[in-house]
Amino acid sequence: MGCIEEITYEILLSKVTFKKCSAFIRSNFNEVYIIPPGYRMFNVFIIGVPPIYVGISGDNITFPYTKPCHGTFVMKTQSQEEVKKVQKTGKPVM
């Protein structure tokens, strides 16, 4: 089990509700996938209310990250490996 601090990321939304994060990802990316709760990404397990949306833009991946005391963040990072994994295992949103 890893820590999100092990990766370099940009925070696009901070300390908001999960619903707001979902709406943000859904409406700001052309390439969106649904992943299941507990999906392993960067050695962390994604927490959320299904459907959990992940946005892809080139090698960038944007996803929700929830902390018990601070709510949910939308985080963006670069990882060709994780992009490929989500494209392969996630459910594409048309």
Partner 1 sequence: MNSTNPQYKPQALLLLGCPEIAMQTSLALFTLDLLVTDGVNTLIAGNNAALELVRTADPKGYYVKDMLDLDTAIADLAEKRMDPDICYVFIHNDAGISYLATVNALIRTQAMGIIFGPEAKTLAQQCTDLQLKNIWARAIHNPRPLKVKITKEIEHWAALKR
Give the Cα separation of 12 and 76 in Å (integer).
7
Segment 44 to 63, residues that bind partner 1, using CB under 8 A: 44-45, 47-50
How many residues make contact with partner 1 (CB under 8 A)? 23
Closer to partner 1 at the Cβ: 67 or 91?
A: 67
Closer to partner 1 at the Cβ: 3 or 94?
A: 3
Give the Cα separation of 57 and 49 in Å (integer).
23
Contact pick of 10, 27, 67, 89 for partner 1 (by CB under 8 A): 67
Closer to partner 1 at the Cβ: 60 or 66?
A: 66
Q: Is 6 in the site for partner 1 (CB under 8 A)?
A: no
Residues 6+ apart with CB under 8 A from 90: 33, 34, 35, 54
Give the Cα separation of 37 and 14 in Å (integer).
20
88: number of Cβ within 10 Å = 8
Provide the binding-site residues for partner 1, judged by CB under 8 A: 1, 3, 17-19, 36-40, 44-45, 47-50, 66-72
